[in-house]
Structure 1
Amino acid sequence: MSPNPSDDTSSPLSDPQAYELPLNQPATIQVGAERINDALADTSADTLPKLRTRYLWAIYITQLTLFIAFIVPIAFSLAIRVAQVAPDNRDAILALAVGLPGLFVVIGTPLVGMFSDRTRSRFGRRRPWLLFGSVLGLVGSATIALTGDVAGLVIGWSVAYTGYGIAASMLGTHLGDTLPALQRGRVMGILGAISQIAPILGISVAGALVASPIGLFLLPAGIAFVGSLFFILVMRDPKVNTPRPELKLSKVFEGFYFNPRRYPNLAWVWISKACVFLAISMSGLYGVYLLTTRLGLGPADIGALLATTGLLGVVTGIVGAVGSGYLSDKLKTRKPFLVFSAIALGASMIVSGTSNSVPQYIAGGLLLSLSIGVYGAVDQALALDVLPRDTDENGRFLAIIGIGSTLPQAIGPFAAGMVLALGSGDYTVVYIVGAVVAIAGALLIIPISAGRRADLDTHSVKVMR
């Protein structure tokens, strides 16, 4: 296997794929939808050599193990552990435990990406940071498994979550360094499927281990560490001898803002996306507790139900992604599909939040995955449609649009916690407010003036360099 050195020392903010990190299980469907659509793209060859199949399998295994440890606690395990440690204050503590590390990931991963660009270790640029993130994930998860107090739980998950975010972003950045265009569609499509399937596998296992904190956290963390370590040992990440790029925090901050008056279409896309992802984040936080209090299900039954709903949701998510991608290309319009998906997202939250039976909850989950699949396939194309034409900064603007999804996911748990407190502990209120936010996201799509000027195929979206 030949090394694949890269002399590109541009900021990682110019590679949006590297920061497309889902911060909750529903968001994995959106990321998967984008990558599955990338698999349908026509790609051309470039100067990078093809990655061998066995090397790609090492990447796939690492992605699988990381996403099990990264997403499963947010979707299931953390809620179970919080209820065990602090049953009287579980709602507020869960919001804190999920939201705080989410903010660390949003702020920290771009900085780590920048530092990795400057790394000149003989072990490469990305490998040391991948190892660092994997160790943080293992240490933080072990802290949760072995501690019995709230502080240890919150600090432990903050450390673990930050570590997994660093590791996942380094894996994505390594792909940006080494993956040739000829292979990107197929590889990103497979990674998209893995990002959706991994949490389902993890929840299936975690549901049988609810009585054991070590089984809930340390086992998946150990699997993720072994998976990452295996890839670290075979990783082709040669030392880079080019001069270090200048370290300017101002360049980092440029990747977080733009003038909305100058680029109003981009502003409408950003705020609409932020509303949709805020709703997605709110929808997933208290699902375990809703099922416990409303339907009287035990932790093991909840794990089985979430796994079943997730497996069926992968199917509906893919159907929504591929179907809407094809139709939006055929009709040369994006906005109707995005409006539909945001309204369907709001409807799914109402169905789930008012559930009085298992079938109703499953129906809400399937509608959720369908809506996110449609959204994930089309919103990326609309973002490209409205990119400013008077600049040569597509990477920076795409990264800013990406923040429109990651930042709301980070603040969503805090918003859900506040709504729950104001709603006297009624989980249905959280879902209803989330539905209102989603519908607001649909309405904010209407002012976008891209209209029928959708001249880029949805299935030809190219965001990686």
Structure 2
Amino acid sequence: MTTPSSGTGFAPDPTIDLQGSPNLIGPELPIPHLGIKPEAKRPVWFIAGLVLAQFGIFVALLGPATVSIQMKAQSLTTDPAEQVAMTAMVIAPGALAAVIFNAVGGRISDRTTSGLGRRRPWIVLGIIGLTLSLLLIALATGPLMMAIGWFLAQACANLGFAAFLASVADQLPSEQYGKTSGLIGIAQNSAIMVATWLSAAFSSNMLLLFMVPAVLGLILVSVYALMLPEPVLKENRYPFNLRELIATFWTNPVKFPDFGLAWWGRFLIILASYLFITFRPFYMTSHLGLPEGESAVAAVAVGVTIYTVASMVSGLLAGWISDRLGRRKVMVAIAILIFGIGTYGLLHADTVTGFYVCEAIMGVAYGMYLAVDLALVFEVLPDREKTGKDLGVFNMANALPQSLAPGVGGFLLAKLGGGTDFTALLVAAAISAVAGAILTMFIRGVK
């Protein structure tokens, strides 16, 4: 029941529909009470659907972000400098859309009065919009159309992802945070690996390159939306005015310092990651000297596979350990430090084997980080009734670095590195990671 009787400790709430919106796939699940952290564990099949949905979102979105857009740029021009400039031009405005629509999506889903629930409509609309936007990129004949398509893709994906992530916080008790966070991290990294291999397989066909991951994501996310038991709002509890709109993008770090520190820790590790990821194919050709085309793409695919396998193992172990010990921030800080070491190691790699070793180190670190960091964030959320809004603000720490990385990395690589020297870019990435680790250790509300 959405609103339990007074005998269960909750007074009836006239703004909540008593029936709610039950799940349409699988055995019937209890509908969580709005604003109250659940106590009952979710079954394995539900967790599996959740993890596959995370995989679906990211296989559709991160393939273009990490490889496909650069391959599309290479299909439009043969000049390396123009390829770098075109990639930065396309990716940067899309990441800005991610910042805006992640926060807006969380706030909208908190207030949605649909009979299908608060989160489900936006999850479905987001993945459909992402699929259509990627089709636009695949058919683009120039950088402007690519940029428009990627802006729309990021807007739709983050609108849906904000609702999806809020649904995770709505559905799970604290004791499932660590393990599920670890599995979500594995799903994200697996999605990058699969998207990279799909890019290698369909490198000569731009339509399949973008649409195969998109359709896979559409199916998996839609299935999860049908598995979701949702509380239903009959009316909005809060006014929506200019002040509320501005507040959509803000959670006071002075009033909620632990949330603010977690935000900056995430911002810095994502910035460190994307400073390299954005320019990984150029690293293979310019730093390691591999020829453009299938050789470089295949090497990237192997590196991402090593990264993913390492992250899967470390993520499972870290999630299990953090739930057993109840410790989050120390493991997060250690993971970020290791990631910084791996990033700096890329500077000294002069063979593909050395690159693979660095990918393994970064994979171990990032798997640990993702397994524990999301659990840490769930623990420091300021308001359970505004989970979507606060997680939307937090996810700006994912999106903003993606917006900044192409510009910052492009400047460091082009202006300080002459287009081929990665020293300034990789040193900046390592410093960013270490700073994130230091800030995370100042969180007081989580061990």
With structure 2 as the length reference, what TM-score do the two structures score?
0.76
Deviation of the 1:330 alpha carbon: 8.1
Partner of 1:142: 135
Deviation of the 1:129 alpha carbon: 1.5
Partner of 2:193: 200
Deviation of the 1:406 alpha carbon: 3.7
In structure 2, do the counterparts of structure 1 residues 181 and 209 end up closer, same or farther at CA, with 3 Å as the change threshold? same
Deviation of the 1:264 alpha carbon: 7.8
Deviation of the 1:2 alpha carbon: 2.5
- Aligned residue for 1:246, secondary structure, equals coil
1:79 paired to 2:62: no
Distance in structure 1 (CA, Å) of the matches to 2:239 and 2:116: 21
Say if 1:346 and 1:436, in contact at 8 Å, map to a contact too: no
Deviation of the 1:217 alpha carbon: 0.3
Deviation of the 1:315 alpha carbon: 4.1
Deviation of the 1:207 alpha carbon: 0.5
Say if 2:92 and 2:403, in contact at 8 Å, map to a contact too: yes
Say if 2:126 and 2:157, in contact at 8 Å, map to a contact too: yes
Partner of 2:406: 413
Distance in structure 2 (CA, Å) of the matches to 1:337 and 1:56: 23
Partner of 2:9: none
In structure 2, do the counterparts of structure 1 residues 437 and 191 end up closer, same or farther at CA, with 3 Å as the change threshold? closer
The number of residue pairs the alignment matches comes to: 416
Partner of 1:45: 39
Distance in structure 2 (CA, Å) of the matches to 1:129 and 1:331: 33
Deviation of the 1:353 alpha carbon: 4.1
Partner of 2:54: 63
Q: How does 1:255-266 map to 2 (within 5 A)?
A: 256-257=249-250
- Aligned residue for 2:34, secondary structure, equals coil
- Aligned residue for 1:240, secondary structure, equals coil
Distance in structure 2 (CA, Å) of the matches to 1:58 and 1:388: 24
**Residue by residue, what CA displacement relative to the aligned partner does 1:309-364 show, whole Å, maximum 9, x if unpaired?**
223223433565546995999898966973x6555434433432454321011122
In structure 2, do the counterparts of structure 1 residues 354 and 150 end up closer, same or farther at CA, with 3 Å as the change threshold? farther
**Residue by residue, what CA displacement relative to the aligned partner does 1:355-407 show, whole Å, maximum 9, x if unpaired?**
4321011122122223334545666788899x799x99997888766544442
Residue in structure 1 matching 2:202, options 201, 209, 217? 209
- Aligned residue for 1:124, secondary structure, equals coil
Q: How does 1:117-128 map to 2 (within 5 A)?
A: 117-128=110-121
Which AA in structure 1 matches 2:362?
L
Distance in structure 2 (CA, Å) of the matches to 1:320 and 1:68: 21
1:426 paired to 2:423: no
In structure 2, do the counterparts of structure 1 residues 404 and 53 end up closer, same or farther at CA, with 3 Å as the change threshold? closer
Residue in structure 2 matching 1:241, options 234, 248, 259? 234
1:107 paired to 2:96: no
Residue in structure 2 matching 1:301, options 295, 299, 320? 295
215-224 or 57-66, which deviates more: 57-66
Distance in structure 1 (CA, Å) of the matches to 2:225 and 2:438: 46
Say if 2:34 and 2:385, in contact at 8 Å, map to a contact too: no
80-89 or 202-211, which deviates more: 80-89
Distance in structure 2 (CA, Å) of the matches to 1:335 and 1:54: 31
Percent identity among equivalent residues? 20
Distance in structure 2 (CA, Å) of the matches to 1:191 and 1:318: 10
Say if 2:94 and 2:151, in contact at 8 Å, map to a contact too: yes
**Residue by residue, what CA displacement relative to the aligned partner does 1:32-88 show, whole Å, maximum 9, x if unpaired?**
xxxxxxxxxxxx834xxx655555544343332222111111121111111112343
Say if 2:311 and 2:363, in contact at 8 Å, map to a contact too: yes
Which AA in structure 2 matches 1:363?
V
- Aligned residue for 1:426, secondary structure, equals coil
Say if 1:133 and 1:167, in contact at 8 Å, map to a contact too: yes
Say if 1:4 and 1:237, in contact at 8 Å, map to a contact too: no
Distance in structure 2 (CA, Å) of the matches to 1:310 and 1:228: 23
**Residue by residue, what CA displacement relative to the aligned partner does 1:6-25 show, whole Å, maximum 9, x if unpaired?**
56279xxxx9xxxxxxxxxx
- Aligned residue for 2:157, secondary structure, equals helix
Which AA in structure 2 matches 1:220?
P
Residue in structure 1 matching 2:434, options 420, 442, 449? 442
Q: How does 1:173-192 map to 2 (within 5 A)?
A: 173-180=166-173, 184-192=177-185
Partner of 1:36: none
Distance in structure 2 (CA, Å) of the matches to 1:135 and 1:356: 43
129-138 or 369-378, which deviates more: 369-378
Which AA in structure 1 matches 2:59?
I
Deviation of the 1:165 alpha carbon: 2.1
Which AA in structure 2 matches 1:138?
T
1:370 paired to 2:364: yes
Q: Structure 1: 5+ residue runs without aligned partners?
A: 16-43, 458-465
In structure 2, do the counterparts of structure 1 residues 60 and 369 end up closer, same or farther at CA, with 3 Å as the change threshold? closer
- Aligned residue for 1:428, secondary structure, equals coil
Partner of 2:15: none
Partner of 2:4: none
Distance in structure 2 (CA, Å) of the matches to 1:439 and 1:320: 23
Distance in structure 1 (CA, Å) of the matches to 2:374 and 2:230: 30
In structure 2, do the counterparts of structure 1 residues 71 and 384 end up closer, same or farther at CA, with 3 Å as the change threshold? closer
Distance in structure 1 (CA, Å) of the matches to 2:29 and 2:319: 39
Distance in structure 1 (CA, Å) of the matches to 2:76 and 2:336: 36
- Aligned residue for 2:201, secondary structure, equals coil
In structure 2, do the counterparts of structure 1 residues 336 and 52 end up closer, same or farther at CA, with 3 Å as the change threshold? closer
Say if 2:337 and 2:437, in contact at 8 Å, map to a contact too: no
Distance in structure 2 (CA, Å) of the matches to 1:456 and 1:146: 48
- Aligned residue for 2:434, secondary structure, equals helix
Partner of 1:2: 28
Distance in structure 1 (CA, Å) of the matches to 2:355 and 2:129: 35
With structure 1 as the length reference, what TM-score do the two structures score?
0.73
Q: Structure 2: 5+ residue runs without aligned partners?
A: 1-26
Say if 2:250 and 2:393, in contact at 8 Å, map to a contact too: yes
1:311 paired to 2:302: no
Say if 1:272 and 1:444, in contact at 8 Å, map to a contact too: yes
In structure 2, do the counterparts of structure 1 residues 138 and 382 end up closer, same or farther at CA, with 3 Å as the change threshold? closer
Partner of 1:37: none
